[in-house]
């Protein structure tokens, strides 16, 4: 399958422990999908909210499409996610726990359709972030030593 990554949430793995990951579809307007295909999307402050039997992507920024004129979209409007009912119920049961949230990891085009990868996440404490940075640095040093020899 042909997959083109449009946007990644780079801070996600640094700020959160990531657990279950799911693929979901996005309900978009015509100008939004054109803007996504042009690579003009940001997931920096985005999160997923469960409302009843629906999941919504909140605060994802899709830049207005230049050639759509007055029929353009609101860049930060909530967008519905296409998930099965069982998946939404599973996510809702996990989110009710303290400190657990759903965050978007990346948006990509798969067979011409916009898909989003979401994950259950739990926030990291400061010492957890320091541990992961130290682990990454030590791993980098080990790889550097093997490359030199």
CATH code (residue 84): 2.40.280.10
The single residue listed with the structure tokens 């404490």 is 125
pLDDT band at 127 (very low <50, low <70, confident <90, very high): confident
Which range of residues forms the domain containing residue 73? Answer: 3-148
Distance between start and end Cα atoms, the chain:
38
Q: How many folded domains does the chain comprise?
A: 1
Give the mean pLDDT of 64-79: 79
Quote the pTM value: 0.81
> What number is the average pLDDT over the span 16-37?
89
């Amino acid at each position: 399958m042909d997959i083109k990554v449009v946007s990644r949430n780079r801070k996600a793995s640094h700020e959160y422990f990531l657990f279950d990951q799911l693929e979901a579809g996005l309900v978009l307007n015509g100008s939004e999908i054109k803007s996504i295909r042009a690579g003009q999307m940001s997931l920096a402050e985005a999160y997923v909210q469960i409302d009843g039997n629906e999941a919504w992507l909140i605060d994802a920024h899709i830049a207005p499409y230049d050639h759509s004129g007055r029929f353009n979209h609101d860049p930060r409007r909530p967008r519905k996610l296409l998930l099965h009912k069982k998946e939404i119920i599973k996510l809702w049961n996990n989110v009710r726990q303290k400190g657990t949230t759903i965050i978007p990891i990346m948006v990509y085009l798969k067979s011409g359709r916009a898909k989003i990868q979401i994950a259950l996440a739990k926030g990291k404490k400061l010492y957890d972030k320091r541990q992961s940075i130290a682990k990454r640095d030590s791993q980098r040093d080990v790889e550097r030593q093997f490359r030199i020899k």
